[in-house]
Structure 1
Amino acid sequence: MATKKQEQQPIDAYLASVKDPVARKTLGALRQQLRKLLPGATETISYRMPAFKVDGDVVAGFAFFKSHCGYYPFSGGVVPALKPELEGYATSKSGVTFLPDEPLPAKLVKRLVQARLAELAPGGKKPAAAKKKALITERVTDSAVKEATGRDWKAWMRALDAAGAAELNHKELVALVAREVESGWWQQSISVAYEQARGKRVVGETATTGFQVGVVRTLPMTAPELWDLLTKQAERWLGPGAKLKFEPGKGYEVPKRRGAPGVRGELRVVKPGERLRMTWQPDSWTKPATLQLTLESKARGAALHVHMEKLPDAKAREAMREHWSKILANIAKD
């Protein structure tokens, strides 16, 4: 019993040091789930975060930062392999971040653990996303895709371009292809092939979106009410004095004020009740980032997913994470 107590002490101390009570509760619950999923694991501290080791290898770790929590499988292949299941979360090759009051679903944690264990198993294979070495259009012939779906690769590229697929994220792209293709395998293959062909995805990695960040929060209102707020009260989320006309191609401006730079951009996509996509460029940035707001109905309200891509650097990523976390928290209070 003494040995077991000693092994638990580092994580106990870490959790005790987390001042945010919501984050401490969330990470404590995550720890209990990992104990059930990994009953023979050793609890320790690795890279200054709580971690679970199996036969000497770290399988899972977690941590709390200034305003968000993170889950880390200690592998560069697990998160990219589960990218479709992680849609809506801010991810990197090494981990997944989430808000303290929006814990990772238990099923998702289980999938992350299973993927890491499979990777470490004797003779185990690396996750599928890490194995791909060739473009899908090079591995699957024109005749094969045409026989299965009715179009060859060039025809699919033209059709998806015409349908505006360049502005869609992966999940939306798969849904678009699914309107014509029943097979889930072909839906994914065509979607990834298109992303590779248009430079949105490099072989074996995620889309080339540079530094990116995502924040999600469930708000105490219905999806129609949330859409109404976004479109009729733009100052609530863009800032005081914001001028925005909700039509694709229209520019917008947010005046500079004390403590906040001016922002300008252009609206690219408007899907009523579902999604807004636009550029976002503060005065100090030389190039614009991409900002997307997506609504999702929930049993107890509506979730607002905020995702930014093509951020200039890691400092801007953390600044935007903090910025949007505060915006969503303020909306939730009202």
Structure 2
Amino acid sequence: MATNPRELPPIDAYLAGLKDPAAKKTLGALREQLRKLLPGAVETISYGMPTFKVDGKAVGGFAFFKSHCGYYPFSGSVVPALKAQLDGYSTSKSGVTFPPDKPLPAKLVKTLVQARLAEIAARGKKPSATKKKAAAKKALITERMTDSAVKGATGRDWKGWMRALDKAGAGELNHKQLVAHLAREVESTWWQQSIAVAYEQARGKRVVGETAATGFQVGVVRTLPVSASEMWERVATQAERWLGAGATLTLEPGAGYEVPKRRGVPGVRGEVRVVKPGQRIRMTWQPEGWRKPATLQLTLVPKARGVSFHVHMEKLPDAKAREAMRKHWSTVLEDLA
């Protein structure tokens, strides 16, 4: 007797309901590959499509439409970052589409999964304000990603990598040398960097929140209940709401800006570097008293119920400035909401 699809697990029911035999075969094989790449991941339905989640974060999903299949990394930056590898495929900011009878190559699927895992690792977890300073030192990359995720992608769990690198004398290597050493075993540059940073943090060679290329950095994200276009309009025409009182801004690469000093708040100056209307602004940010400018990037990612507003800063002078900027931009996003 045929099994009622309603009695099946969510993804089994989804696949069982597909009428196109090629799509059913292709997506069934894709599911098995994701299971191997993400052992221990939770299989569920999100946004109407089969989805694999690791530590509560959606890493990859797939779906079938009238005439094509789609793969979705649940990120607005993974697909654009892999533009070269995806040449020849129909893509959008959030996914890749392909014919049911022409599955994505296994190597390409692995690259998409690794890129999403690395993105999640880089964002990390926002520390609780009530935790003590000693607890903050434990917020390493090794705690942000599961053992199963790193082992599935690289062949070793975190303890295995720590032991292997200690045995290889990695404690005596600088960051560039450490990455070169990892490249002998790890193909993905994303994972080379992630493992190198995790090792340096674990062995006290790096302060949490600091990277070799970008110094101290911080990110703040908030989903706001307005459309991406409406939020872009606010950012573009109401600079005082996010730069500060008295600020004027021309959104053109090379344009300078200045925020006047006011009581208790230093003035800020900088220069616009990149503008992608509706999506992203990259600029320098240098308050009075800072010897060198930091880099500020604002990114808008459309969501089903609003827009995800990402603020990221790099090249901050120290950990104190990082925490100050975290509080500052959290407040700014609260006000914009």
Bin of the TM-score, shorter chain as denominator length: 0.3 to 0.5
